[in-house]
């Protein structure tokens, strides 16, 4: 393989990348998002500057992705936090757990998604939707929501999805010192919300040394939404380089 060939590859492994090039389109993506109040001190301990906390609220997500270009069929669960950056409202992606190798590798390497391998599920059981997150055999999160109790305005859901998302991308050098440490912003694009509903919901988080979702404890349930959407995961841009401050 020539040097010019090596320069043209986009991901590891060199001769057989773990995921294809984007864009990445998602069809019939099903969300259950339970918003809850948490301990403000716990929130301040995990949200990095220069992001600012909008309010002491966390959005716990379960997402079914049955049809995603290049990434296949998988389920995801995690926590995002409403924030502001330079006066702009958005969300900070704090933790993500999923059951598929390609989006774990691609998400971490391209954008910096904080993804770990685990076993989330989102299923319909009679009159409720149930979400669970297991790390190995251990239950780390359990959510339930009434099924389609009241419709929501799909335009408002689409507007919320279009807000910027923020991540911390960290890649170490070969000596384990930081080589990349950046605040990344990305957007969801070409959004079509096919249906949206709200209803009663509950969420329980449990202690685990690796899947530490309970680090942001549930104080009070604020709201819950269930919706289905088609969308494209847009590529990112660097909005803050933490290592530049040291150079």
Give the mean pLDDT of 13-33.
95
Question: What whole-number distance in Å separates Cα of residue 185 and Cα of residue 165?
Answer: 6
Per-residue pLDDT of 49-97, as tens digits, reads 999 998 999 999 999 999 999 999 999 999 999 999 999 999 999 999 9
Strands (E), the chain: 24-37, 52-53, 57-68, 72-85, 88-98, 115-117, 119-125, 128-135, 138-146, 150-151, 165-172, 178-186, 188-198, 201-205, 220-233, 237-241
Residues known to be catalytic:
115
**HSE-CB for 124 with a 13 A CA cutoff:** 8
- CATH superfamily label, 18-246: Acetoacetate decarboxylase-like (2.40.400.10)
Per-residue pLDDT of 193-226, as tens digits, reads 999 999 999 999 999 999 999 999 999 999 999 9
Tokens of 23: 């864009």
- pTM of the predicted structure, to 2 decimals: 0.95
**Pair 219, 205: CB distance under 8 Å:** no
Alpha-helix residue ranges (DSSP H) falling in 153-220: 154-161
Question: What whole-number distance in Å separates Cα of residue 120 and Cα of residue 57?
Answer: 22
Percentage of the chain beyond pLDDT 70 is 99
Among 2-16, 110-124, 128-142, 152-166, which is the least confidently predicted range?
Answer: 2-16
Bridge partners, residue 74, by sequence: 65
């Amino acid at each position: 393989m020539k040097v010019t060939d090596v320069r043209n590859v986009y991901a590891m492994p060199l001769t057989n990348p773990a995921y294809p090039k984007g864009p990445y389109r998602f069809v019939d993506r099903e969300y259950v998002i339970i918003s809850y109040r948490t301990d403000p001190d716990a929130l301040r301990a995990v949200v990095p500057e220069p992001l600012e906390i909008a309010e002491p609220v966390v959005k716990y997500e379960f997402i079914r992705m049955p049809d995603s270009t290049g990434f296949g069929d998988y389920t995801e669960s995690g926590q995002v936090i409403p924030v502001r950056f330079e006066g702009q409202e958005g969300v900070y992606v704090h933790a993500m757990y999923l059951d598929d190798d390609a989006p774990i590798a691609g998400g971490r390497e391209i954008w910096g998604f904080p993804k770990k391998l685990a076993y989330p599920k989102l299923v319909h059981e009679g009159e409720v939707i149930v979400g669970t997150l297991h790390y190995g055999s251990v239950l780390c999160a359990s959510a339930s929501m009434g099924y389609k109790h009241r419709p929501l305005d799909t335009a408002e859901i689409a507007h919320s999805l279009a807000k910027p998302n923020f991540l911390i991308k960290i890649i170490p050098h070969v000596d384990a010192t930081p080589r990349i440490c950046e605040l990344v912003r990305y957007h969801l694009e070409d959004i079509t919300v096919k249906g949206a509903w709200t209803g009663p919901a509950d969420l329980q988080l449990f202690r685990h040394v690796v899947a530490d979702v309970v680090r942001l404890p549930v104080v009070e349930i604020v709201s819950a939404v269930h919706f289905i959407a088609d969308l494209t995961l847009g590529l990112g841009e660097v909005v803050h380089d933490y290592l530049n401050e040291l150079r």
